[in-house]
Structure 1
């Protein structure tokens, strides 16, 4: 697995050709490490396959977290495992090796964070994206989008029909859910708009008109003539009652919208909407009665628009304390999320609570090209947001080389196991820059020999010279490097603690005549 991902490391990557599983079509040409890892389904040798699947899973988790660093993770894992196994041959116990490895890793992480620069300029952010995308137009659009939405905002990436990428910034807050009846979409553009509405939020289904009628009468008594209802479900008599009230002019405007998502996620979104509009959710599923609710539960907004598939709220009368509390809850959910879907949903909630969203369309001549460009753009967005969150360090393997140099310079201690692991870690940290140089056709020995004379510089393989990384934009996000090292250590510890592998074979089933 590592040999497949090594060629993709660095600014001059080599490609990997993967033939289709079915048929004799043209091979897929890839230089994206995460995608290559996902294309590996099974190796012929069952025991080699176990290690490959372990690395495949780890690499994909790195991609989901920070978008980059997948090839670095594979290279570091293989190098660190090789060096630690050499140390293990000296006879130290596995538990001792794991304990010392953990200590040295924490030392490496502290050293990494000391080198980080958190005050990032737009040019530095653009440099990080430019090196990930290679397309100057797309890189500029992505840089502007990430800079606008911030580290926790959402850049929605879609496949476009045009070869040129486009980016649209959506004002206010938009959800992927629309009106419950197309009868409200009478405008030529198929969009319903309500100005200065009051907003009713319902958790649950409403099917009978008598459940809505008392509340609607209280709205009319309070001179509320423009009402937007966002509910889990409104159907049958209840929906017909709303339509008739609108058609007869009882209300100037009355619209029912489908609440986004389902289940507990829908409940979270409704609570977010309540905080953003200054209203409260009526929990019909929780036993609360809509007919007994007062108009104090209604929220406010400057403008609400809706189509069959989307709705947006502009100028909500938000409750800032509640919004801050909902943001804390959403960030906690993001920290707990253990898969890409949950992380995406948490990030979308955060973006909507902060009110900034960018929608970017990436096109191409054929579907395969559009999908490849979208994946590269998605990776670049994650990497750039990781940079905004955790800061930047010199790239091109320079930071890892500097940490390895500082590990060797640490004072010697009485524990020979610690010294051995420290040396093993230092040797492994030099492996990424060796691979970057090799992929660029440069002899690593010469460059590494010059490294001690250029401790604050980084070697740029494009220019084939030592440069100031902060001036030239040769930078890596701290979170990418930290995640790669953490994952490599985790893989090594798992291998060290594995005592046996069991391969299951299934008996062949004889076919009946």
Structure 2
């Protein structure tokens, strides 16, 4: 161990030991919450206020901070990876934590006994790949009951939230969008809008009736990103709508006084039904949003800045094919709903795939700014609402703001878990899928030799860690639970820790999303592989303890603690 310029450097096996101690500390804490009979953890408030009791593995993991700076690195390494599982799939943080920590301990013992690091890592990779194949073969397509069960588990047993989320999913479809947000009533409220909805305001209120609501049947739609300033620009669109005897909906940034006068005169003479609203979103996002809409409803997106192929064309040369078409348009005081796609379905599918890829990939140009990343994600979600067949909002209610804020993250977890299960399928829950996978690939891994075989062996041994924790938390003997489960040949046979009975876990609703379980395995192999590749640790020599009363919010305090903001 070397101390230089207030920095402490630790190398070799000692560095690995420090990391593993931190991982074990996190696993011992989070493991107590695993399963339906898991215990609660009392968490001290950072600012010295009343303590908080939680059974949420994510929340518990985020509160742990160790005084030893080297062990704290192990905590952070495992916590960040495990929490990412829950952020993606709504569940799995506790499972990933205990499984990874156990695998890290076993791997360190091998390396300490003289095994080759690269060979051990190769064995981990081979066993993990074989287990992933076995899990994919084991998975079942999720029906309504299975989706409800997965969502209810992620929502910490809240059946009302699970039922509403499944209802929303069924009504908007796999390509629809579902948002979960705070409500303002005691009850949970689900709102579903069929079609493409976007927030907007009318630009010419004189065209609207006193109610402020208009419904157009089979309207033509003019998409324009910028201002339409002169009457000459709008005349071709008006003539096309008049000749086809169809109403016209205009989306633009603004309209000039001459345009407004012309439209109102046409309305008063009864020659044409027309409405003008502001185009959705702003700036560059508006341009992309209009291209999204044209992929669904046809037509051309016009503008003055040359952002699309036809942008330099004058509106005076507009033809009928440049106008979009919908089956119905509903205009309200604060938004518009368009129903019935009027374009080639393949163009819409390609556009949806593009936006989803942007959402999954993220934008490296925004850097590490949390607000910029959040803004990037929110804009893509809004664009998906335009492209989807429908959208839903689930407003989480409760008698107090405290209860609503407590239920909101659980409902968000349930939403992510439901989507993962619907996309990938389901596996037996309660840790059963992992031990079934280990059993299926045992013979295949037996053909390996040397340190590669040792690496594969410890991986398969660690796969029973989650079910052992679940059994212990339920007051049962892990070895007996394992033996009784594996004695039955059905993949979905196992222990329902909530009732203490064995049976078909699909019927009991004890299920996990395939994507969640496979991500847990990937996280474990990645974290342990990274740990084994570490040759040295560099930390601050004397970390400064956090102040007893931090003058700020708990969220800011937690962020500073995670990033070493209170270190000297």
Q: Sort the TM-score into its range (normalised by shorter chain).
A: 0.7 to 0.9
Partner residue, 1:261:
281
- Find the aligned partners of 1:168 and 1:507 in 2 and give their Cα distance: 50
- Stretch moving more, 415-424 or 239-248: 239-248
Q: RMSD across aligned C-alpha pairs, in angstroms?
A: 2.9
- Find the aligned partners of 1:345 and 1:117 in 2 and give their Cα distance: 34
- Find the aligned partners of 2:430 and 2:543 in 1 and give their Cα distance: 50
Partner residue, 1:221:
239
Partner residue, 2:265:
248
Partner residue, 2:4:
none
Aligned-residue offset at 1:394: 1.2
User: In the superposition, relative to structure 1, how do residues 332 and 414 fare at CA in structure 2: closer, same or farther (>3 Å)?
Assistant: closer
Q: Tell me, yes or no, if structure 1 residue 304 matches structure 2 residue 338.
A: no
Contact 1:392 1:478 in 2 (8 A): yes
Partner residue, 2:345:
320
**TM superposition score normalised by structure 1:** 0.87
- Stretch moving more, 359-368 or 12-21: 12-21
User: In the superposition, relative to structure 1, how do residues 100 and 301 fare at CA in structure 2: closer, same or farther (>3 Å)?
Assistant: same
User: In the superposition, relative to structure 1, how do residues 65 and 242 fare at CA in structure 2: closer, same or farther (>3 Å)?
Assistant: farther
Superposition pairs for residues 91-240 of structure 1, below 5 Å?
Answer: 91-118=114-141, 120-133=142-155, 134-175=157-198, 177-179=199-201, 181=203, 183=205, 190-203=212-225, 205-206=226-227, 209-210=229-230, 213-224=231-242, 226-231=247-252, 233-234=253-254, 238-240=255-257
Aligned-residue offset at 1:417: 1.3
Partner residue, 2:474:
440
Contact 1:215 1:291 in 2 (8 A): yes
Aligned-residue offset at 1:124: 2.0
What 5-or-longer segments of structure 1 have no aligned partner?
Answer: 509-513
**TM superposition score normalised by structure 2:** 0.79
SS in 1 for 2:110: helix
Superposition pairs for residues 278-357 of structure 1, below 5 Å?
Answer: 278-286=298-306, 288-296=312-320, 297-307=322-332, 309-337=334-362, 346=380, 349-350=383-384, 352-357=386-391
Aligned-residue offset at 1:419: 1.9
Contact 1:179 1:255 in 2 (8 A): no
Deviation string, structure 1 residues 322-351 (Cα, Å, up to 9, x no partner): 212213323433442477765665555445
- Find the aligned partners of 2:469 and 2:340 in 1 and give their Cα distance: 52
Deviation string, structure 1 residues 293-337 (Cα, Å, up to 9, x no partner): 413311122333344543221234233232122133234334424
Aligned-residue offset at 1:491: 0.9
Aligned-residue offset at 1:275: 1.8
User: In the superposition, relative to structure 1, how do residues 252 and 108 fare at CA in structure 2: closer, same or farther (>3 Å)?
Assistant: same
SS in 1 for 2:305: coil
- Stretch moving more, 51-60 or 179-188: 179-188
What 5-or-longer segments of structure 2 have no aligned partner?
Answer: 1-25, 364-372, 545-568
> How many pairs are equivalent?
496
User: In the superposition, relative to structure 1, how do residues 182 and 422 fare at CA in structure 2: closer, same or farther (>3 Å)?
Assistant: same
- Stretch moving more, 311-320 or 394-403: 311-320
Contact 1:73 1:488 in 2 (8 A): yes
Contact 2:445 2:456 in 1 (8 A): no
Deviation string, structure 1 residues 216-268 (Cα, Å, up to 9, x no partner): 1212333547432323x33xxx3434433343345745444333334544333
- Find the aligned partners of 1:334 and 1:227 in 2 and give their Cα distance: 33
Partner residue, 1:379:
413
Partner residue, 2:109:
86
- Stretch moving more, 498-507 or 49-58: 498-507
- Find the aligned partners of 1:239 and 1:254 in 2 and give their Cα distance: 16
Deviation string, structure 1 residues 26-58 (Cα, Å, up to 9, x no partner): 333322223344455x54332223222222322
